[in-house]
């Protein structure tokens, strides 16, 4: 006999009860290990999940952009020669800065604001391409697009769109920084952290500074957000914190001195000193040939029968200056005098040769 519907219901109930009883005990005990303060915070967040307690002004009507089909507003302040001009680009988080409900701190800075509510990275890129400014900004602050949390299918896709968007901004202006998007109460914290990290990696690969803001918006301070849990509150501190962050990032970046480009130091080694050995150039008659040592004999004491021998001479050459000094000692007029010197051969020597022999004799005395 076929069983009815009531039997199938009873069987399904038994399976559900069995599944509930099969839950590990460890997971049930884990709840008791949670600190009381954290448990109360989780209970509070479950009550106000996705809801802020702050106040935000009512949204006004803006012109529709022909490039993206979204509302868009560009506010450019009058030129101030004593202030540096900063251009801020972003989505609806900048809306009430553009409307004037919340004032950006100024001081030494002057801000232009471009806001496109609901725009993702690719749509913000289109607006940047067609943006016309009356002067070149000293700095461009890009508010990271938070709408890619819902517009993109994956974090990788969102990071790719952001990379193209940031590259377009850097192609138009020289100095660019990125400020992280304010967190949302309606999206899991892990997903927002993952997207911020991917944005940060993209900016780092392009050598663009990326400033995080998550620590300035604690998730337990619900008054920092409006009731939609997405936008910051206007009068309860949320937008004021964002404005201070924009000003601080701009001021710090513009105050940074450019790195000094010092020329590379080249180690200069002293070149080796070349020692020049002077050469003695001698002019004059050819030297006399030196006799062989076997032909030398000792000079006697003047006794009869001793052989008078010559003194072995070394061939010496003198420069013109020395010869001139020699001529002063032995004047050249002695050339006309002839005398006989004791030579090994006993021959008569001319006066010019005798002058050399006399000088050599005096030199060795």
pLDDT tens digits, residue range 270-311? 555 555 555 555 555 555 555 555 554 554 444 444 444 444
In the numeric block, the tokens 């920092």 are attached to 224
Within 8 A by CB and 6+ apart from 299, the residues are 306, 308, 309, 311
Residue 43 pLDDT = 47
Q: Which residue has the higher pLDDT, 275 or 154?
A: 154
- pLDDT(25) > 50: no
Among the candidates 228, 255, 282, a domain finishes at 255
Average pLDDT of every residue of the chain? 76
Structure tokens at 226: 């409006």
- pLDDT(2) > 80: no
Residues 108 and 29 in one domain: no
56 lies in a domain?
A: no
Residues 212 and 126 in one domain: yes
Of 16-25, 48-57, 100-109, the poorest mean pLDDT is in 16-25
25 lies in a domain?
A: yes
Residue 152's CB: how many other CB atoms inside 10 A? 20
Task: Label residue 256 exposed, middle or buried (CB < 10 Å: 0-12, 13-18, 19+).
Answer: exposed
- What total number of domains does the chain contain? 3
**pLDDT tens digits for 94-126?**
999 999 999 999 889 999 999 999 999 999 999
26 lies in a domain?
A: yes
Short-list 107, 53, 65, CA closest to 227: 53
32: domain range? 14-47
57 lies in a domain?
A: no
Average pLDDT over residues 88-92: 96
Residues 301 and 241 in one domain: no
pLDDT band at residue 344 under the 50/70/90 scheme: very low
pTM for the structure as a whole? 0.59
- pLDDT(329) > 50: yes
């Amino acid at each position: 006999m076929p069983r009815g519907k009531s039997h199938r219901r009873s069987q399904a109930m038994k399976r559900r009860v069995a599944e509930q009883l099969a839950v590990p005990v460890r997971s049930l005990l884990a709840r008791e290990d949670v600190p009381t303060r954290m448990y109360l915070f989780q209970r509070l967040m479950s009550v106000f999940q996705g809801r802020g307690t702050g106040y935000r002004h009512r949204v006004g009507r803006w012109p529709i952009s022909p490039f993206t089909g979204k509302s868009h507003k560009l506010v450019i302040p009058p030129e101030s020669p004593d202030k540096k001009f900063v251009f801020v680009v972003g989505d609806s988080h900048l809306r009430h800065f553009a409307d004037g409900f919340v004032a950006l701190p100024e001081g030494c800075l002057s801000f232009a604001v471009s806001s496109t509510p609901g725009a993702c990275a690719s749509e913000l890129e289109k607006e940047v391409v067609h943006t016309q400014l009356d002067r070149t900004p000293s700095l461009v602050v890009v508010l990271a697009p938070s709408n890619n949390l819902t517009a993109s299918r994956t974090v990788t896709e969102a990071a790719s769109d952001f990379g193209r968007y940031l590259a377009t901004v850097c192609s138009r202006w020289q100095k660019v920084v990125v400020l992280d998007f304010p967190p949302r109460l309606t999206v899991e914290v892990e997903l927002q952290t993952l997207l911020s990290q991917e944005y940060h990696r993209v900016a780092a690969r392009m050598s663009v500074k990326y400033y995080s803001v998550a620590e300035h918006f604690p998730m337990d301070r619900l008054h920092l957000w409006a009731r939609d849990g997405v936008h910051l509150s206007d009068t309860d501190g949320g937008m004021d914190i964002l404005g201070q962050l924009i000003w601080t990032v701009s001021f710090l970046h513009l105050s940074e001195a450019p790195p000094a480009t010092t020329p590379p130091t080249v180690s200069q080694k002293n070149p080796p000193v070349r020692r020049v050995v002077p050469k003695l150039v001698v002019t004059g008659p050819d030297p006399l040939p030196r006799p062989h040592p076997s032909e030398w004999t000792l000079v006697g004491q003047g006794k009869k029968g001793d052989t008078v021998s010559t003194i072995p001479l070394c061939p010496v050459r003198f420069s013109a200056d020395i010869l001139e000094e020699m001529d002063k000692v032995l004047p050249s007029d002695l050339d006309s005098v002839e005398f006989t010197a004791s030579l090994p051969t006993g021959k008569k020597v001319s006066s010019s040769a005798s002058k050399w022999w006399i000088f050599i004799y005096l030199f060795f005395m």
